[in-house]
Amino acid sequence: MVKKLIDVAEGIVRADFEYWVGKYMDKFYERLEKQQFIAIKCPSCNKVYFPPRKVCGECFKTIPLENCWVDLATTGTLVNFTATNYSVMERRKKKNEKTTIIGLIKIDGSDTAIIYPVLDVQEKDVKLGMKLDVVWNKKIAGSPGDIKGFKPVGGT
Amino acid sequence: MEKVGIVGYCQIKPSMDLQMDRYEAAFKAVRGALDSANLKRKDLTSVVSSTNDFYDGRTISNCFTVDPSGSYLKDETKVEMDGAYAVLYGMMRVLSGNHKLVAVWGGSMASCFPYESTTLLSTDPTFERPTELVNVMTAGAFQMRAYMQKFDVKAEDIAKVAVKNRKNAAKNDFALPESQNAKITVKDVLAAETLSSPVTELMYARPCDGAACILLAPEQQALKIREDPVWITGVGHSQEQYYLGERDLSKSLSMENAAKMAFKMAKIKDPQKDIDVAEIFEHFAHEEPIFSEAIGLCEPGKGTSLSTEINGEIPINPSGGATSGNVLCATGLVRLIEAAKQLRGEAKNHQVAGAKRAIASGQFGFSAQNSILYILEGGKK
């Protein structure tokens, strides 16, 4: 008996969502376009959120849009990483030649780490706690992809 | 709390490519559970399912399973999480006083869709999703490294957990055949292909096809159905923050809270002494020690030194755990069934001698953002 498979990707409906990121992230992306980092500090607990957000979940309070902004440098510390040859968007069987190193990077002066590629370094040379600096994408569009990744400060 | 009884259950043996469709799997699970308790569809008052729209490739996926799962013209609802949370919905229905018999079933067909890729769709859509770096696999890898780093745990220690679970799976008739390996070594686990470092293929509970069902009834009704129900004497659940960059991934705060809540309800003071067997949903080998520590079975950082074999001091996952068949939406449900089997003495080759009190856990989200824990007792005449 033949096992009949129907590829339902053929019957897909295209339904693009246009999320508004909100006033706080609008400001973040405006700064990103200028190749700068900006974070927000909760006035109740002093936690610095990068990227910024409107509500501090721990305090369960709104962070005001005015007077809470903190300019940050583009450097940070590697707090965790993984290396993989599988891209997140593909079926498992498609394996890449190139290993991507993905890091959790805590930008100096912030309390929340972000997830970006760690560039210009071999997996064996990656060390937790290493200092990293941003690598900007050639094309800047005010979007998460403006940050291409982070590379070790002073090289390896 | 009034006691809720587990009066029947059924597991469909998991497979990497189950030769039945999802409707048949749902039907066989619910029908099998009713048969196990000599009950009929007419005895059911409510059906709670655990499925996921993304895993089923359509929205409101439960509307298609109404007929085969016995929920036609019944009270019916769905939980879009692990099946262990569907059991909580089922309990609420029983405890409301409105329902005398609730079927809770869960299942999915991982062979039909790219699970790891699908999890990208549960990331933050504006900041994280566009960069395509976060999914269940990379989140699990961060969690493993955080745990190893915090407590100076070696990859070998994590591999030992995978070895124990795959050896246990070899004794379990309902385990995924690919997970069973009586001869596996730590070296095999470490040498297996790296999925996302430091996680290797054999440390990962690979999603597979299957389904399972549990029947719940209020105390008096449960005793009418059978003289030896398994009782749910405690339950706790909790949820952590979403962003991985904000969480301490070396521990599970959600499980810590869940366990405190469940033990308080069941009046358990010392889990190390009072728990005879644990069935824990570990998506990755390293989650088993992380959860054991959060539950209080040992001190933080000591999870890999626990004696967890079937004849050990505190047997954990005698069935092989999620490694023995990670049927998405049913894995936590199966942990409850396996714990119930231990209490009833039905676990055959992976039976823990004299088990009187068991715990079973479920989880959902990246690096187990959500946790749920049950305490089970009874099961003997």
pLDDT value of residue A91: 58
**In this complex, is the C-beta atom of A102 within 8 Å of any C-beta atom belonging to chain B?**
yes
Q: Please, what sign has the CA dihedral across residues B159, B164, B165, B171?
A: positive
Nearest Cα neighbor of A78 from B142, B78, B57, B292 is B142
The residues, any chain, with a CB within 8 Å of residue A83's CB and separated by 6 or more, are A99, A100, A101, A102, A123, A126, B194, B196, B197
Residue type, A77: T
Task: Return the structure tokens found at B146.
Answer: 């955080």
What would you measure as the largest C-alpha separation in chain B, in angstroms? Answer: 57
In angstroms, the CA B123 to CA A68 distance is: 27
Query: Is the separation of the CB atoms in B104 and B5 below 8 Å?
Result: no
Of A70-74, B113-117, B139-143, least confident by mean pLDDT is B113-117
pLDDT digit string, tens, across residues B25-41:
999 999 999 999 999 99
Residues in chain B closer than 8 A to A100 (CB atoms): 133
Q: Average pLDDT of B111-137?
A: 91
Q: Which of residues 4-43 of A touch B (CB under 8 A)?
A: 8, 17, 19, 21, 25
The residues on B that touch A, with CB distances below 8 Å, are 57, 114, 116-117, 120, 125-128, 130-135, 137-138, 141-142, 145-146, 149, 194-199, 241, 243-246, 249
Residue B196 has pLDDT above 90, yes or no: yes
Residue B356: which of B327, B325, B377, B329 has the closest Cα?
A: B377
Q: Is A128 on the interface with B (CB under 8 A)?
A: yes
Check if the beta carbon of residue B237 is closer than 8 Å to that of residue B258: yes
Question: Residue A92 above 70 pLDDT?
Answer: no
From start to end of A15-111, where are the E strands?
Answer: 37-41, 48-49, 55-56, 61-62, 69-72, 75-86, 95-107
Q: What are the phi and psi torsion angles at B25 (to 5°)?
A: -65, -45
Q: Each residue of B271-321: pLDDT tens digit?
A: 999 999 999 999 999 999 999 999 999 999 999 999 999 999 999 999 999
- β-strand B230-239 against B194-196: which pairing, if any? unpaired
**CA-angle at B10, arms to B353 and B78, nearest 5°:** 125
Confidence grade of residue B347 (pLDDT, cut at 50, 70, 90): very high
- Residue B31 CB neighbour total at 10 angstroms: 17
Q: Give the residue carrying structure tokens 């810590």.
A: B256
Query: Where do the structural domains in chain A lie, given as residue ranges?
Result: 19-152
Instruction: Tell me how close the Cα of B144 comes to any Cα of chain A, in angstroms.
Output: 10
Instruction: Give the pLDDT confidence score for residue B69 in this predicted structure.
Output: 95
Among chain B residues, the shortest Cα distance to A123 is held by B197
For residue A117, how many other CB atoms are within 10 A of its CB? 18
Distances (CA, A) of B284 to A57, B34, B324: 28, 32, 12
pLDDT tens-place string over residues B248-282: 999 999 999 999 999 999 999 999 999 999 999 99
Average pLDDT, chain B: 96
**Residue A116 to residue B142, Cβ atoms within 8 A:** no
pLDDT for res B60: 87
Share above pLDDT 70 across residues of chain B, in percent, rounded to a whole number? 99
* CA–CA distance, B132 with B118 (Å, rounded to integer): 11
pLDDT digits (tens, 9 = 90+) for A15-27: 888 889 999 999 9
d(CA B22, CA B18): 9
DSSP letters for A127-149: -TT-EEEEEE-SS--SSGGGEEE
For residue B181, give the amino acid letter.
Answer: N
**A80: exposed, middle or buried (C-beta count within 10 Å: 0-12, 13-18, 19+)?**
buried
**pLDDT of A13 strictly over 90:** no
- Tokens in use for B179? 């997970």
* Cα atoms found within 13 Å of the Cα of residue B92, Cβ hemisphere only: 10
Best B111, B131, B145, B206 member to test A by mutation, with max A CBs in 10 Å, is: B131
Distance from CA of B165 to the nearest CA of A (A): 24
What residues of B are in contact with residue A90 (Cβ under 8 Å)? Answer: 114, 117
Lookup: tokens for B244: 């991985």
Residue B106 — φ and ψ, nearest 5°? -150, 155
- Given an 8 Å threshold on Cβ–Cβ distance, is B142 in contact with A80? yes
Instruction: Output the DSSP codes for B50-75.
Output: E--HHHHTSSSGGGGSTTTTT-TTSE
d(CA A95, CA B355): 45
pLDDT at site B380: 84
| B323-336 pLDDT, tens digit each | 999 999 999 999 99
What domains can you pick out in chain B, each with its CATH number? 4-111+207-225 (3.40.47.10)
The tens digit of pLDDT for each residue in A140-154 reads 999 999 999 999 998
Largest CA distance in chain A: 70
Residue A6 has pLDDT above 90, yes or no: no
**AA identity, residue A121:** V
Nearest CA in chain B to A95: B195
d(CA A149, CA A121): 12
At residue B362, the 3 state secondary structure works out as strand
Provide the pLDDT for residue B2.
Answer: 81
Residue A93 has pLDDT above 90, yes or no: no
